[in-house]
Copies of this chain bind each other. A is one copy, B any other.
Amino acid sequence: MAWNVYLAGEIHSDWRERIADGAEKAGLDVTFSSPVTDHGASDDVGVAILGDESNGFWKDHKGAGVNAIRTQTLIRQADVVVVRFGEKYKQWNAAFDAGFAAALGKPIVTLHPEEHNHALKEIDRAAMATAETPEQVVDVLHYVLEGKLPARG
């Protein structure tokens, strides 16, 4: 039975592609989902579809509503939620997604550099595993789905 894995978090690096590629190479039966990763489209979707807003707050509010239809549904459908925190940006929406997933009882894997350890202590505690690289996330999925450890080289 295919697993659904939602990849939440920063949309400014190729971390999702690295996980998807790794999973494909390992032949894992996984379907990945994510928020919309086109930053401009994500910010503009509300006004692009539902009408202009001169006020930035309402422009953002409109867009966030549309994006939430996607993200909250995909999180609810997911078996596992991976939350990535990059070096930059506030990423409060990523932390929000982690809390949302936690309350729904979804297993969480956090992915972030060591420098964020202290700031992410609460979210890492709620997670089942904390990785530093996308490759480690692939290895976790490989083990979880197939029971195999990474080959040692």
A interface residues with partner B (beta carbon < 8 Å): 1, 3-4, 31, 33, 36-38, 41, 44-46, 48-51, 55-58, 60-73, 76-77, 79-80, 85, 89-105, 107, 109, 116-132, 136, 139-140, 143-145, 147-150, 152
Q: Chain A binding site: helix, strand, loop or mixed by DSSP?
A: helix
Contact of A102 among B56, B57, B96 (CB under 8 A): B96
Contact of A124 among B37, B44, B64, B150 (CB under 8 A): B64
- What are 21 A-B pairs at a CB distance below 8 A? A41-B149, A48-B150, A48-B152, A49-B131, A49-B136, A50-B136, A51-B132, A56-B118, A60-B121, A65-B127, A66-B143, A69-B128, A70-B143, A70-B145, A73-B107, A89-B119, A90-B116, A96-B99, A96-B102, A99-B101, A101-B103
